[in-house]
Copies of this chain bind each other. A is one copy, B any other.
Amino acid sequence: MCLALFISSSLQAQEHPKLILTKAGVEKMRDELGKVPLFDASLAELKKEVDAEIALGIDTPVPKDYSGGYTHTRHKKNWFALQKAGVLYQILDDEKYAIYVRDMLLQYAELYPTLDAHPKTRSYARGKLFWQCLNDSNWLVYVSQAYDCVYDFLTKKERKKLEKKLFRPFADWISVENPQFYNRVHNHSTWGNAAVGMIGLVMDDDELVERALYGLKNAPVNTGEKDNDGGFIYSDDGKAGFLANLDEPFSPDGYYTEGPYYQRYAMYPFLIFAEGLENVKPDLKILEYKEGVLLKAVHALLNLSDADGEFFPLNDGQKGMSIYTSSLVSAVDIAYHYGGNNPQLLSIAQEQGKVLLDDSGLAVAMGLRDGKATPFEKKSINLSDGPKGKQGGVGILRYGNEDLTLVFKYAAQGLSHGHYDKLSYSFFERGDEVLQDYGLSRFVNIEQKGGGNYLKQNKTWAKQTIAHNTLVQNETSHFKGKYETGSRHHSELYFFDASQSEVQVVSAKERNAYPGTEMHRTMALIKEDAFEKPLLLDILKVTSNSSNQYDLPFYFMGQVIQTSFDYEAPKELHPLGKKHGYQHLWTEGLGNANEENSKFSWINERRFYTLTTTTTAADEMHFVRIGANDPEFNLRRDAGLILRRKDTQHTTFVSLIEAHGSYSPVSEFAVNSKSSIAAVEKVHDDEDYTAVTIETSNGGMHLFILSNKDANNTSKHKLQINGNDYSWSGPYYFK
Asked if B668 and A318 sit within 8 Å, CB to CB, the answer is yes
- Residues of B near A290 (CB, < 8 A) are none
A562 at interface (Cβ–Cβ under 8 A)? Answer: yes
A residues 580-616 near B (Cβ < 8 Å) are 586, 588-589, 601, 603
Bound-state CA distance A322–B673 (Å) is 22
- Residues of B near A326 (CB, < 8 A) are 667
A214-222, A443-451, A677-685 - interface stretch: A443-451
Asked if B573 and A586 sit within 8 Å, CB to CB, the answer is yes
Question: Which residue on B lies nearest to A265, using beta carbons?
Answer: B668
Point out the residue from B68, B446, B603, B668 that lies within 8 Å of A603, measured CB to CB. Answer: B446
Asked if B68 and A589 sit within 8 Å, CB to CB, the answer is no
A702 at interface (Cβ–Cβ under 8 A)? Answer: no
Asked if A448 and B325 sit within 8 Å, CB to CB, the answer is no
Bound-state CA distance A665–B674 (Å) is 36
Interface string of A314-345 (1 = CB under 8 A from B): 00001111101110000000000000000000
A95-103, A233-241, A406-414, A629-637 - interface stretch: A629-637
Asked if B320 and A665 sit within 8 Å, CB to CB, the answer is yes
Bound-state CA distance A447–B449 (Å) is 42
Bound-state CA distance A670–B76 (Å) is 12
Asked if B573 and A445 sit within 8 Å, CB to CB, the answer is no
Asked if A631 and B446 sit within 8 Å, CB to CB, the answer is no
**Given A568-B631, A569-B630, A573-B573, does the pair A670, B446 have CB atoms closer than 8 Å?**
yes
- Residues of B near A322 (CB, < 8 A) are 665-666
Asked if B559 and A636 sit within 8 Å, CB to CB, the answer is yes
Asked if A321 and B665 sit within 8 Å, CB to CB, the answer is yes
The distance from the CB of A667 to the nearest CB of chain B, in whole angstroms, is: 7
A452 at interface (Cβ–Cβ under 8 A)? Answer: yes
Asked if A561 and B321 sit within 8 Å, CB to CB, the answer is no
A560 at interface (Cβ–Cβ under 8 A)? Answer: yes
**Given A572-B573, A630-B569, does the pair A561, B668 have CB atoms closer than 8 Å?**
no
Asked if B448 and A562 sit within 8 Å, CB to CB, the answer is yes
A704 at interface (Cβ–Cβ under 8 A)? Answer: no
Asked if B449 and A321 sit within 8 Å, CB to CB, the answer is no
A276 at interface (Cβ–Cβ under 8 A)? Answer: no
Asked if B325 and A631 sit within 8 Å, CB to CB, the answer is no
The distance from the CB of A112 to the nearest CB of chain B, in whole angstroms, is: 25
Bound-state CA distance A562–B448 (Å) is 6
A627 at interface (Cβ–Cβ under 8 A)? Answer: yes
Bound-state CA distance A569–B583 (Å) is 14
- Residues of B near A447 (CB, < 8 A) are 670, 673
- Residues of B near A561 (CB, < 8 A) are 443, 446, 448-449
Interface residue ranges, A against B (CB under 8 Å): 68, 318-322, 324-326, 443-449, 452, 559-562, 568-569, 571-575, 586, 588-589, 601, 603, 623, 625, 627, 629-633, 636-637, 639, 663, 665-670, 673-674
